[in-house]
Structure 1
C-alpha cells in the first residue's frame, strides 16, 4: 500500500519538477565537483538573459565549440541539443537551453548517463536518431487517409503529433524493412524509473517509423564527426583547420559520402529511416558518435579554473613527448587523416590515433610477397591492411586481366556499384605469418570496405577460414581473406580454380589483381554478410595501392627493430661463412644449392 501511495504521489509531480530532479541527480553523480563548478562558470560567461532566464543561443554554442562554418552543420547541432535538452520529455522539445537543460545535453553527449542509469540502455542510438529526424508530414497524411478514408491534414489534426524541428518536413520514398514500431525510448524510461516516476512517461514525438534524417544533414554531421574523431580532452577543432581546405576538404566530403552510402542510396531516398540507422551503426559504425565526448566536455573546463585542479582532467603536459606525436605519422597512398577517422568509427580510436606505423607500402617496397613478409611479419601487435584499386572490365580486355580471371570461377554476380574505385581492408590482431595448413586470425578479425560504400563484415565463430598467406609454388597463392586455405596440391578431378569464400577478399601472389565476393545467397562463410545490402555482388579489380599499418606504440616498434637487427646479424653470419675451400665462388654455389643464400634469401652476398 505504501508503494502505491508513493507512485500516486509521483504522478502528481509536474514534468518541470521531474526534469529539475533528474538534472540535479545527473549533476551530482556524473560531474566531479570541479567539473560542475567549471560548468557553472562557463555557462554564466556564455549565457544570454531574457526575463531573468539565462539560456544559450545557437551561435553561442557553435562559437564556443569552434564548429567550422564551412561544414554548414551549426543548425543541425543546435537541433540536436535543443531536443536532448528536453530529455526525458520529448514532448517539450525543442527546449530553451538553460543551465539544467545543458546538463542533460552534456551528460548524454558524453555518455556520462551510464554512471546513473545502470539499468537503462547504454545505447543512445535511438535518442540521437530522434534528435536529428524530422516528421514526414506527407507520409502521415497518406497513412491517415488509408485508415480513416478521408484526407488528413498533418498540420491540423489533433491526433497527428508533429516534431518541432529547425528542418522542414519532406516526403520520403518507401524503404524496405522500415517497420520499426517500438516508439518508447529506453533511455528516457530508465531516467524516469530512476526517479520512481515511470508512470509519468508520455511520448510526445511522431511515430519513429514516420521520421527520417535528411541525407544532406547526416552527411554534414558525419563530416563534423570525421573532423572531431581524433580530439582528445580540451583539444579544439581549430587544430584540424588544415583539413577544411583544398584537396583535404574534397577528401573529407568523399569519405562522408562513402559512409552515408552505408545508410541510404541518396539517388533513391532523400532520408535515412530508423531501421537503417539502428542496423548499420552497431555493426559498421559503433564508435561514430565518440567525437561528441571530448567536444562537449569543453563545457566542463573553465579558463578561470586551473587545469591542475581538475580531478578527472586527462591533460597532457607540454613536456610530455606524446604531446608532440602527430595523429598520423605519415600519409600513405591510401591512409590519410580522413580514412583514419573513418576506421576509428569501428576500431577504437585509442588504438589508432598517434599509434599507427607504416610497415609496408607496395609503392615504396615493391609489390611482392617477399617484401610484404620482410616488413610485416615481425610486427607483434594488431595491424591493418588496406588495398585500393580500379574495377577491371567484364569481360576482361588485357592479357593479364584475362589470365587472372581464368584462375577464378566464372563471374555470376554483378558489380557492387557504378563506381570504378574500390577500397577494402582487413584488421588482424595476430601477427602475420606464412600459413601452411591453417588460417590465421580470430573472432576479432574484421574484413571491411571503405569505398564506395562503408561496411564492416564481422568474423564468424563457426567458420575459421579467416586469413591465409601462401607463396608459390602452392597453387593460387597470395593473401586470401575468408577463403578456404589453398591446398599444396590440387585435388584430382576438381577444377584448377581458386575457391572463393561467401564473403571474401583475394589478392593474387603478384599483388596485381584482387577480387571481393559477397555471396549473400549461400552464406556460411568466415565473415557475416551485409545486413543492408542483401544481395550478391563481386568486384574484380586491378590493385593500385597496398599498404599495411601497425597498431602499436614504442614498445611494439622496439620489438620489431630488435627482430630486424637479429635477422641482419644472422644474414651477416651467413655472408661470412667460410667452408675452407679458399674459393669464395665455389663456397657460395654450394650454399645456394642447400638454400642458405641466394636471390630469395636474406643472406645476401658473400663478398
Structure 2
C-alpha cells in the first residue's frame, strides 16, 4: 500500500487524504503479518470491474459466515459501506476497495485508537450513522407515535415496521436535528487532526442529519447477529455456532432480540430508533453490545492459506483446530432460565470474558428445592462473583384471586401505588442480580458493593447500576423471632433487629428493588423512578414508576469463575461433611467422665459459668 506522502507533497484531494489515512491505519494498527494476510484475503475475495477491485455484499457475508436466516447481510453491508467512506462520510456508500476495507477493519475492531489517541474512545455516533436512514416519512411516523414517558408502557407484541434501505435521503423536516446541525463526528475530526488537515476539512459538506433513525427491523436483525457473535474468540469460526440458528433454536434467539429491542422502542408503534435514545441506552444498558465485531472482522487479518500451527511433515488433510467434541462448551450446565442466548444478552453489560465457559450452576430451585436452606448450602461456599436469575408469571392484584399464599404475600408488601409494567396477564418476567461478593447472612448491614448490578431480561432488557446513595445492595435473611419476614432482597434496607417493638410485618421496599419471599414462591420488583434515590439507579429506558408482582417458576444461581473456585467450593463442602460426621460420632457415654468433661471444655460447651448439666 506504500508509505504516506511527505508533508511537503501532501495531496489535499479527498482520494489522497483517504489513502494517506488508510496507510497510517495499516502501518500502526496491523502487524506486518496481519497486513500481509489482509492483502491476501482481499485479493482472494475481490471482484474486478473496470480495473477496480472491490468486495460485494454476498462476498463479505459468505466470508464472515453470516447466516442467511438472520436477514442481516444488507444491514451489515450498509454499515461497512458507510464506514468505508471514512473520513469523508458524505461520500457514502463507498466502493469497498483495499483502502476502504482498511478503514472498515480498523474501526470495527476498535484498533483505530492506536492512531487516533486524542479521539473519544466511543465510536457510538459513527455506528449509529452507519445504520441510520434519513427518511422523512419514517421520521414523521416516529414523531406521531411519541408519548409521554410516564405513560409509555409496552405490551408483549413486537413492533412491526416497514423495512427501509439506507442512504435514501428525503427533504429534511422541521424537527430539531438530534445529532446536532454543527456536531462534527469526533473520530472524523481526530482523523483530520492526525494528518494536520483539521483546519482544511473541519467544516466540510457533511450530510444533513435531520430525521435520522435506525429502522426497527434492521436493528432487530443486527441484534440477533450481535447475540450470535458475542462469544466469538479470535479466529473462531461463526459456523461453529450454526446450531444456534437451527429451526428449534431460532425462536429463542428472536425472543431474546425482541427483549433488547424493547429497550429502544419506548412505544409500540415507533418505526425506528433516534440517536438520542440510542446514545442514552447503549452506555448503561449494553456497553459491550458491539464487542463481538472485533473477532468477527479480525477474520480479514488471518489468511486461511497461512497456518503456523502445522509443521512441514503434518498431514495436509488433518484438521487445524480441535474437533467440536473437544472444545469446552460456552455453557457447561443446563437450566430453565439460562441458555446461550440469555448468556449473550448478559454479556452485553457484563464482559464476556467473565462469563463464557466460566459459569457453573450452583443452585436450581427445580433441582435442589425452593428453600433458603438449599440455597445456603449450594451458594454460600462460592468465593467468587455470582449471578442470580429468577423468572415467573406476572400477578395482577384482584380481590377474587388473591387467596391463600398469594394473599399472604400481598399482605407483607406496602399498598401498591404503581401500575404493572403492562396489563398482560401471565406474561413471563425475568430479573437478575450480579454480585461481586460472596453470599452471607444479613444481620445489621447488607452485603455487596458498587459493582452489584440489578437487571431485567424479559420482557424488556433493562439494567440498574449501583448508586452511592446508600449501600442496601443485597440481603439474605432467614425467618426468625427477631426477623419474622425473611427472604432475599436487593435494594431494600434490612429489617431492624434490636428493637422488637418496631418490628413490622411489612417489607420496606427500596426505590429500585427486587424482593423474593422466604419460600421462593413470590417476588416483587419495584421501580420508583420519581424517588431519585436508592441503592440502585433508575432506568434510563423507562422513566416512569411501575411495580411487578410475580409468582416464581424458576430460580437459579450461577457462579462466575473457573476450576480454582470450583475446587475451593468442593473442599469446603467436604470439610463441612467431615465436621458433621465427626459431631455425629462423638460418644460421651464411655464411662470416662473426666475425659468427656475435658472434651466439652475444649469445645467451649462447658466451663466458666456454663455447668453443662449433669454428666451422669
Relative to 1, partners in 2 of residues 1:264 and 1:177: Cα closer, same or farther, differing over 3 Å? farther
Q: Structure 1 residues 515 and 317 mapped into 2: Cα distance closer, same or farther (>3 Å)?
A: farther
Residues 86 and 530 of structure 1, relative CA distance in 2, 3 Å threshold? same
Tell me what 2:421 maps to.
Answer: 416
Counterpart of 2:13 in structure 1 is: 14
Separation in structure 1 between the aligned mates of residue 448 and residue 306 of structure 2, nearest angstrom: 49
Give CA-to-partner distance per residue, 1:250-291, whole Å, 9 cap, x none.
110000000000111462211100011011000010000111
Per the alignment, in what secondary structure is the counterpart of residue 45 of structure 1?
Answer: helix
SS in 2 for 1:225: helix
Q: Indicate the residue corresponding to 2:255 in structure 1.
A: 254
Match of 2:190 in 1: 190
Q: Is the 8 A contact 1:184 1:203 kept in 2?
A: no
> Which residue does 1:406 correspond to in 2?
411
Q: 2: distance between equivalents of 1:354 and 1:469?
A: 28
* SS across alignment from 1:485: coil
Asked if 1:557 is matched to 2:566, the reply is yes
1:546 corresponding residue in structure 2: 555
Preserved contact between residue 467 and residue 479 of structure 1 (Cα < 8 Å): yes
Tell me what 2:54 maps to: 55
The residue aligned with 1:355 is: 358
Q: Does 1:429 align with 2:430?
A: no
Q: For 1:203 and 1:107, locate their aligned partners in 2 and report how far apart those are by CA, in whole Å.
A: 23
Shift of 1:171: 12
The corresponding residue for 2:121 is 122
Match of 1:95, SS state, is coil
Q: Structure 1 482/82 Cα, relative in aligned 2: closer, same or farther at 3 Å?
A: same
Alignment partner, residue 459 of structure 1 = 466
Match of 1:345 in 2: 348
In 2, Cα distance between equivalents of 1:472 and 1:237? 49
1:175 positional shift:
11
SS where residue 447 of structure 2 aligns? coil
Change (3 A) 1:349 1:97: same
Secondary structure in 2 aligned to 1:472? Answer: coil
Q: Which is worse superposed, 205-214 or 279-288? A: 205-214
| Match in the other structure for 1:482 | 491
CA offsets per residue over residues 338-379 of structure 1, 9 Å max, x none?
Answer: 000000000000110000000000000000011000000000
Q: Does the 8 Å CA contact 2:363/2:378 hold for their aligned counterparts?
A: yes
Is the 8 Å Cα contact of residues 475 and 488 (structure 1) preserved in structure 2? no
| More divergent stretch after superposition (281-290 vs 495-504) | 495-504
Residue 530 of structure 2 aligns to a residue whose secondary structure is coil
Q: CA deviation at 1:241?
A: 1.1
Question: Is the Cα contact below 8 Å between 2:488 and 2:516 reproduced in 1?
Answer: yes
State the shift of 1:418 in Å.
4.1
Aligned to 2:240, the other structure's residue is in SS state: helix
Partner SS state of residue 415, structure 2: coil
Structure 1 residues 206, 136: CA separation in 2 closer, same or farther (over 3 Å shift)? Answer: farther
Q: Find the partner of 1:578 among 587, 591, 607.
A: 587
In the TM superposition, residue 140 of structure 1 has moved relative to its aligned partner by: 8.3
Contact 1:475 1:490 in 2 (8 A): no
**What is the distance in 2 between the residues matched to 1:519 and 1:370?**
31
Q: CA deviation at 1:176?
A: 12
5+ residue gaps, structure 2, are: 1-5, 142-163, 311-318, 606-616
Contact (CA 8 Å) 2:70, 2:225: kept in 1 or not? yes
Matched, 1:327 2:330: yes
Name the counterpart of 2:220. Answer: 219
* CA distance in structure 2 between the partners assigned to 1:120 and 1:276 by the alignment: 23
Query: In the superposition, relative to structure 1, how do residues 172 and 487 fare at CA in structure 2: closer, same or farther (>3 Å)?
Result: farther
Q: TM-score, normalised by structure 1?
A: 0.86
Are the aligned partners of 1:26 and 1:116 in contact in 2 as well (CA < 8 Å)? Answer: yes
1:204-603 mapped onto 2 (5 Å cutoff): 204-208=205-209, 210-265=211-266, 267-308=268-309, 324-395=327-398, 396-419=401-424, 420-473=427-480, 474-488=483-497, 492=501, 496-580=505-589
CA distance in 2: counterparts of 1:384 and 1:566, whole angstroms: 25
RMSD: 3.0
Task: Map Cα deviations across residues 68-111 of structure 1 (whole Å, 9 max, x no partner).
Answer: 00000010000000000001111110000000000000001100
Cα deviation, residue 397, structure 1: 2.5
CA contact (8 A) 2:177 2:210 kept: no
Give the CA deviation at 1:235: 1.2
Q: 1:171 to 1:490 in 2, by over 3 A?
A: farther
- In the TM superposition, residue 139 of structure 1 has moved relative to its aligned partner by 7.6
SS at match of 2:516: strand
Distance of 2:471 and 2:286 partners within structure 1: 24
Gaps of 5+ in 1: 1-5, 143-163, 310-315, 597-607
Measure, in 2, the Cα distance between the counterparts of 1:177 and 1:52: 40
Whole-angstrom distance in 2 between the partners of 1:390 and 1:82: 44
In the comparison of the two structures, how many residue pairs are matched? 554
Deviations 1:393-420 (A, max 9, x none): 2125232111100000000100112452
Q: What does residue range 45-194 of structure 1 map to in structure 2 within 5 Å?
A: 45-138=44-137, 166=166, 183-194=183-194
